[in-house]
Amino acid sequence: MLSVVLVEPKTPGNIGSVARVMKNFGVRHLLLVNPKCNYLDGEAYGRAMHARDILKAATIEKNLSSCLKKFDYAVATTSDLGSDYNVVKSPITPGQLAQQLQRFGNGKGKGSRVALVFGREGTGLTAKEVGSCDLVVTIQSSKKYPSLNLSHAVAIVLYEIFQNSRAVKVGSHIHPASASDKRVAVSMVDAILDRMDFAIHSKKETQEVVLSRLINKSFLTKREMYAFLGFLRKIAEMIKK
């Protein structure tokens, strides 16, 4: 299941336009994190057109942290990437995201709960919010003005996913690793790193962040995850000896 999450949206018209775009591309679940406006006012309804049912059914969340607990994967969208040393903000394109979702035979994320997280108009997502997501998507645009309107950004990402979902479902029999599977893997990696010697603590922290991001960005299948967990157990056993 694919869902769109808007963090602290402040313009009713933008929310209505997002709902319309969602219906254009067959996505129905909208979550609003601490909205700063009345998302059911006349402007929102006017922009939503025939997608008013999506507005009415939208779920309100108090904060992003509790919201993301409902999903197996969370995808942050941002135009603020920083340098390549910022491993948390190492991005993929909307097309690459669509291909990742297609691995499991359904570009709309059926079989796994996927949240597409979009930030505030003007300021986007904070570094902490981006870090709480599994991977980062950025839309290539002019360096002179890289920030897109909220509904336009949603439209581009959903278009890429929709286009890929129409392809032959070659992986429909493949099951993705769940959020709990990922948590187990990250916990095992952290336990292994705890037993290793590092010259300075920050080196260990960097390894934890990098390996955690690799696990979360990889969209492993259940079978791949089980094999990876077996490998981690072997490493843990070797360290104990």
The predicted-structure confidence for 162-210, as pLDDT tens digits, reads as follows 988 765 454 556 678 888 898 899 999 999 999 888 888 888 888 988 8
- 38-95 pLDDT, tens digit each: 999 999 999 999 999 999 999 999 999 999 999 999 999 988 665 454 455 578 899 9
pLDDT band at 109 (very low <50, low <70, confident <90, very high): very low
pLDDT of 168 reads 46
80-to-83, 102, 117 alpha-carbon distances in Å: 10, 26, 14
Using DSSP, state whether 84 is helix, strand or coil.
coil
Identify the structural domains of the chain with CATH numbers, from first to last: 2-165 (3.40.1280.10), 179-240 (no CATH)
- 110-154 pLDDT, tens digit each: 568 999 999 999 899 999 999 999 889 999 888 888 889 999 999
Q: Are 131 and 86 in contact (CB under 8 A)?
A: no
101-to-92, 115, 241 alpha-carbon distances in Å: 13, 12, 40
pLDDT higher at 156 or 222:
156
- Structure pTM? 0.75
88 secondary structure, DSSP code: G
Strand order in the sheet with 114-118: 59-61, 29-33, 2-7, 114-118, 73-77, 135-137, 91-92
